[in-house]
Amino acid sequence: MTVHRERAEAPGLDGLQRWLFERVTSPEAAVLGAGAEHVSPGGLPAAARLDVYRHGYFARLSECLADDYPAVAYALGPEAFEALCRSYIVAHPPRSASLNFYGAEFAGFCRRRGEALAFEADLARLEWAVVEAIHADAAQVLDPTALGTLGAERWAAARLVPSPALRLLRVTYPVFDYYRAFLAGEAPERPSPEATAVAVCRRGDDVWRLELAEPLAQLLARLVAGERLAVALDQATGPALDALGPGALQRAFGDWVACGLFAAITAD
């Protein structure tokens, strides 16, 4: 009887890369199985050598999330935040070699965890708005004198162009005060729910955060949506705005322009 012996083919480069990726990105210690012989010896068992990379993978991505969400990390505490980061990393492995926007889905990830992380989800939205403002192209800003030079015809047709760095948030927790206290080095406590609106923008090197009363939040939302300036202002008038006190609208516009919320004026 003739016995035919065939040598098992060594896995190709794609197969080895997939094998290594699956073990480095595993949340648990790797079970090496076939392929362990391809780990170069270096004074450590193959599993221990791979664990060095596995721990480094999770540590680097957790560090990236902590850089983007320091207030969320404070609110949860080190252990809970680390556990949340690891869960996020497993569910959302990086899709790019650049980690600048790796944390983009973190707020939504927190939100899907339910009421237990509802405050942290809102806080993460604010912190991510700051990240986006930092990276946005906000070179063009509206000249503060531009509104005063509009004639009657242009005023009726004028629209304000929002800055690419502007983010308008509506949240169910008062994250504006919490985040301000955190940045000031205070020790804020988890607040009770309270619906608020916050605008985040960048002008030059400065990132601005503005808490908005509801009438002003509605007005800004209409302007951001492209509504004509005259129409938006007509709709903004009323008892709710009057309750903010005389000059509230003028002060708001002054703050919005000074903080770079608008890039230009168009008239069509």
- The residues that bridge with 267 in the sheet, in sequence order, are 158
> By residue range, what is the domain housing residue 104?
13-135
CA distance 119 to 162: 28
The CATH number linked to 255 is 3.90.930
Cα separations in angstroms, 91 against 61, 86, 103, 110: 13, 9, 12, 12
126 and 141 together in one domain: no
Q: Rounded mean pLDDT of 80-101?
A: 92
Asked if the model's pLDDT at residue 263 lies above 70, the reply is yes
Give the SS3 label for residue 206: strand
Is residue 6 a part of any domain in this protein? no
Tell me the pLDDT tens digit for each residue of 49-90: 677 777 788 889 999 999 999 999 999 999 999 999 999 999
Q: Which of 135, 164, 190 is the last residue of a domain?
A: 135
Asked if the model's pLDDT at residue 8 lies above 90, the reply is no
Question: How confident is the prediction for the chain on average, in pLDDT?
Answer: 86
Any long-range contacts for 193-198 (C-beta under 8 Å, 24+ apart)?
A: 193/118, 195/170, 195/171, 196/170, 196/171, 197/168, 197/169, 197/170, 197/171, 198/126, 198/129, 198/168, 198/169, 198/171
Asked if the model's pLDDT at residue 240 lies above 50, the reply is yes
Q: How confident is the model at residue 224 (pLDDT cuts 50, 70, 90)?
A: very high
CB 222 within 8 A of CB 232: yes
What is the pLDDT, as a whole number, of residue 36?
Answer: 59
pTM score, two decimals? 0.85
Asked if the model's pLDDT at residue 218 lies above 70, the reply is yes
